Copies of this chain bind each other. A is one copy, B any other.
Amino acid sequence: MSSNSNYKAGRHFLQIPGPSNVPDSVLRAMAKPVIDHRGPEFPALTQSILEKLKPVFNTQSNVFIYPASGTGGWECALLNCLSPGDKVLAFETGHFATLWKDVAEKLGLHILWMPGDWRHGINPMLVQEKLTEDSNYEIKAVLAVHTETSTGVTSRIGEIRQAMDAAKHPALFMVDAVSSLACTEYQHDDWGVDVTVSASQKGLMLPPGLSFNAVSELALERAAENQGMHSYWRWDAMLEHNQRGYFPYTPSTNLLYGLEEALNLLHREGLDNVYARHSRFAAATRAALAGWELENVCLNPAEFCNSTTAVMMPEGYDADDLREDILSRFDMSLGTGLGRLKGLVFRIGHLGDFNELMLMGTLSGVEMGLKLGDVPHRTGGVQQAMDALIGS
Contact = CB atoms under 8 A, between A and B. Distances in A.
A94 interface: no
Contacts of A75: 230-232
A270 interface: no
Nearest to A201: B250
B36 A16 contact: yes
Contacts of A37: 19, 208
Contacts of A124: none
A11 interface: yes
Copy total for this chain: 2
Nearest to A27: B31
Interface stretch (A62-70, A150-158, A297-305): A62-70
Interface residues of A, number: 56
Given A36-B333, A103-B231, A336-B38, A250 B69 contact: yes
Interface string A227-269: 0011110100000000000001111111100000000000000
Contacts of A336: 38
Contacts of A327: 39-40
B67 A208 contact: yes
Contacts of A69: 67, 249-252
Given A103-B231, A106-B231, A209-B255, A249 B71 contact: yes
A252 B255 CA distance: 10
A30 B33 contact: no
B39 A33 contact: no
Contacts of A203: none
Nearest to A255: B209
A35 B333 contact: yes
A68 B230 CA distance: 15
Interface string A53-87: 00000000000000111111001000000001000
A207 B34 contact: yes
A382 B284 CA distance: 67
A254 B209 contact: yes
A228 to B, nearest CB: 9
A30 B254 contact: yes
A361 interface: no
A378 interface: no
A234 B102 CA distance: 13
A232 B106 CA distance: 10
B106 A230 contact: yes
Contacts of A229: 84, 106-108
Interface of A: 11-12, 14, 16, 19-22, 27-28, 30-40, 67-72, 75, 84, 102-103, 106-108, 199, 201, 207-209, 229-232, 234, 248-255, 324, 327, 333, 336
